[in-house]
A and B are shown apart, each in its own frame.
Chain A
Amino acid sequence: MATQLPPGLQLEKLDERIMTLNVGPQHPGSGHMRLIIKVDGDYIVSCDPDPGYVHRGEEKMAEYRNYIQNIPHLERPVIHDSCNILYPYCLGVEELLGLEVPERAQYLRVIASELNRCVYIQYWLAIYGIFLGHSTMFMWPAGDRELLIDLLEKITGARVTHAYFVPGGIRNDVPANFEDMCLKRVNYFEKRIKEYAAIFYDNPILISRTRGAGVLSREDAIRLGTTGSTLRASGVDFDLRKKEPYDAYGELDVHSDVLKDGDSYARSKIPWLDMFESCNIIRQALQKMPKSGSVRVKLKPNPKGGNDEVYKRVESGRGSLGCYIVSRSKPEPYRVKLSVGSFRNLICMPYLLKGEKLGNMPAVYWSLNYWPVEADR
């Protein structure tokens, strides 16, 4: 018997009408992944996503490094959302080592992660715009994103890979006139993102392109285990900042938007609405934050956890992001497992693309808020 070849490489005898298309892995419209699409004329018959081209073995690498040395490489999967991807890891290690995070550090973490969420969403929106051929929507978010990147650079010292969160707090306190600087930029940023409505979200050309493309029903969204903006666009009100508040989120008023349509348009609108909510959260946090105080608990060199395991999850730019850490009384974790939103949203791609036109593929694909590098870890 011939050996079984991986999908996409098999010599299949297909119907004469059906043609197989390999979208990716080099194609700019697919990210670092491949979509094996079978088309009948202009209509997609089946779609088989093939991720794994940017697998880096982050989880295995984490087993050979101590709890502090894991920080710079664990943020690599999503470098422009690096605060959020480190958040569950830091919360988990704090529980393992029994650390109490100072109140000021909790609020600064919330501010940094909300700023980072906006930076991520702007980048995502820029690519969504250029996927649909809307080059203005590429330029505007890419430029406005720079405001917050510059602010994050002043706080953390790096434009994207911040390495800012550590178990026990944050690496450094904010610069002197941070509150004014942050408030000014966030207010201006909010004014700018309001302008996206006329040119993009209320634009009849965009609406006719994306409305009704790739509809995911409420039941399917729950059954397939989607998360984040994909889930909330299908009418499920699920936001971990609200449901399981971590750090200072419990003391802040978080309101997340829900849309019922479940199509590409709704999925692309939810992150935009999230940015307004992030601005609100930042303003609340700036008001309630203690004006001075410690920001980091002093750690022993090479801290060890007990024989314990812990699972923590947070709401990242792409949905719920979990981190499962097993400790075996050693300076290194025994196992670190990341449960990422991107991979969970990838699963519904074959369901959504079936029966769609090939031209709608980019509109559906990128609306899923999928980040290939994070899905592969």
Chain B
Amino acid sequence: MGTATGIIKALNSGVKHLAVKRFTLRYPEQKLKFVGDGYQFDPTTGVGIAGYKGRHMLFHDKCTGCQLCAIACEGVAEAIGMVKVQEEWKHNKKAIMPQIDYGKCVFCGLCVDACPFYALYMTNDYELSSFTKEALIYTPAQLQVKPYVQQDAEIIFDARGATHG
């Protein structure tokens, strides 16, 4: 192939893309769709359930304060600390529950794997930025709230290429 034809072919390949749809996700307006409600773990079978590893969700009616999540996190990020809670539960005599520092968390999900009581799951919430370090520390009361996550865009394929809808 000659130099001139090669350059014309390269230019032509670029020009063809004027007709191809734009692939970019327009982020704050559009947000990606996820599968499921987030990463979960089934301790009876020892296998997880596929989902996004975002902010945690703590079920106060199941947490026994056994600290297994904090022990699992010890060698990874040391993001989980056990704190006193005001609630009184029969299954949680010590009244301690995990508090998670998202300034340290690496979102590996090993704490979810460690929980034998189905008390700790992960959700699709990924917008956790804040102006202060203190606001990144989520107390058990904050972890109890189920987040609302906007999910509207998905990659679609058609004759003119892939787009985010």
What is A's interface to B at a CB cutoff of 8 Å? 64-66, 68-73, 136, 143-144, 146-147, 150, 153-158, 161, 163, 171-176, 184-185, 188, 195, 198-200, 202-205, 207, 294-299
Contacts and interface: CB of A to CB of B under 8 A. Distances in A.
Given A157-B39, A158-B107, A163-B110, A203 B76 contact: no
B36 interface: yes
B98 interface: no
Contacts of B83: none
Contacts of B51: 157
Contacts of B106: 72, 161
A184 B75 CA distance: 39
Contact of B48 (A73, A171, A204, A297): A171
Of B35, B107, B113, which is in contact with the most chain A CB atoms at under 10 Å from its CB?
A: B35
A299 B72 CA distance: 14
CB-based closest 4 A-B pairs: A172-B48, A69-B75, A65-B75, A198-B13
9 contacts: A69-B72, A136-B14, A143-B23, A146-B23, A147-B155, A153-B34, A154-B50, A172-B41, A198-B9
Contact of A72 (B23, B49, B108): B108
A173 B47 CA distance: 7
A176 B24 CA distance: 26
B27 interface: no
A157 B54 CA distance: 8
B13 A199 contact: yes
A297 B106 CA distance: 25
B76 A73 contact: yes
Given A64-B75, A69-B75, A147-B155, A161 B47 contact: no
A155 B14 CA distance: 33
Interface of B: 1, 3, 6-7, 9-10, 12-14, 23-25, 32, 34-36, 38-39, 41, 45-53, 72, 74-77, 106-110, 113, 122, 155, 157, 162
A188 to B, nearest CB: 6
A171 B6 contact: no
B16 to A, nearest CB: 8
Nearest to A169: B47
Given A143-B23, A198-B10, A203-B7, 11 more contacts: A65-B76, A69-B74, A69-B110, A71-B108, A153-B52, A154-B50, A157-B52, A188-B162, A199-B14, A207-B6, A295-B47
A299 B46 CA distance: 8
A195 B36 contact: no
A195 B12 CA distance: 11
B93 to A, nearest CB: 22
Contacts of A297: 46
A157 B155 contact: no
Contacts of B52: 153, 157-158
Contacts of A207: 6
A188 B46 contact: no
A66 B10 contact: no
Nearest to B39: A157
Contacts of B13: 195, 198-199
Given A150-B32, A172-B48, A198 B12 contact: yes
B50 A68 contact: no
Nearest to A76: B106
Contacts of B24: 143
Contacts of B47: 171-173, 294-296
A203 B10 contact: yes
Contacts of A65: 75-76
A150 B155 contact: yes
A188 B76 contact: no
Given A69-B110, A146-B23, A175-B36, A202 B1 contact: yes
B53 to A, nearest CB: 4
